[in-house]
Amino acid sequence: MIRINLLGGERQKAKSAARFDASQQTTVMCGMVAAAAVAGIGFWYWSLSRESSSLDAQVTTLTREAARLDTVLAEVKTFENRKATLQQRVVLIERLRQGQTVPVQLLDHVSRSLPEMLWLTAMKQDGAFLTIEGRTTTLIGLSDFVGNLGTNAVLQKPIEIMDSGAEVAAAAKGESVGPELIRFKVRAALNGLPQPEEDPKGKKKGKK
């Protein structure tokens, strides 16, 4: 009699099926892990791209605001410089008028001849000559001042630049080095300014 072990064949088939199912599960799990990793990397990249775009927009906005503020600060600085120049002119004019060393007509002409970024530190009449000292930020300003002085008949041409040179001004608050200035000294001959009349007693007539 021949005996056939049917149970052994079934066991082998079951083992093969089990091994096949485990291999499939491993493959599926690896695929799921890979898919999750790809999805995670994609989300991370998308988040970085979105954050980068937001930062770029903020940088652009801040750059525009900084440029606008620079323009405003430049305008404020220009206004302050003009204000300081005008104040210096007023102080000098009042000082000279109080001293009464220079005729008002000449004083008015000198004041009108001052260009921007140029101011005077001293003005003295010595006989028939007028000596003016001051500071400016550019040689062009000095040239314009000398040219303006020669436009009125109260001064004779040419206007002589007796001395000029560079110097460093005092540093402003928050700055390590002050701006470079040009000191100057000019001289001009007076041209027939009206003199006060004298009364018969030898006293000069003045305005009441």
Please write the tens of the pLDDT for every residue from 35-46: 888 888 888 888
Joined together, the tokens standing for residue 39 give: 């999805």
Whether the predicted pLDDT of 124 surpasses 80:
yes
Whether the predicted pLDDT of 207 surpasses 60:
no
- What is the average per-residue pLDDT within 190-204? 54
Q: Which of the pair, 92 or 39, is modelled with greater confidence?
A: 39
Type of residue at 177: V
Instruction: State the pLDDT at residue 197.
Output: 46
Nearest-CA neighbor of 130 among 160, 108, 152? 160
Instruction: State the pLDDT at residue 24.
Output: 72
Whether the predicted pLDDT of 163 surpasses 70:
yes
HSE-up (13 A, CA, CB side) for residue 138: 8
Least confident of 77-81, 91-95, 97-101: 97-101
pTM, two decimal places:
0.45
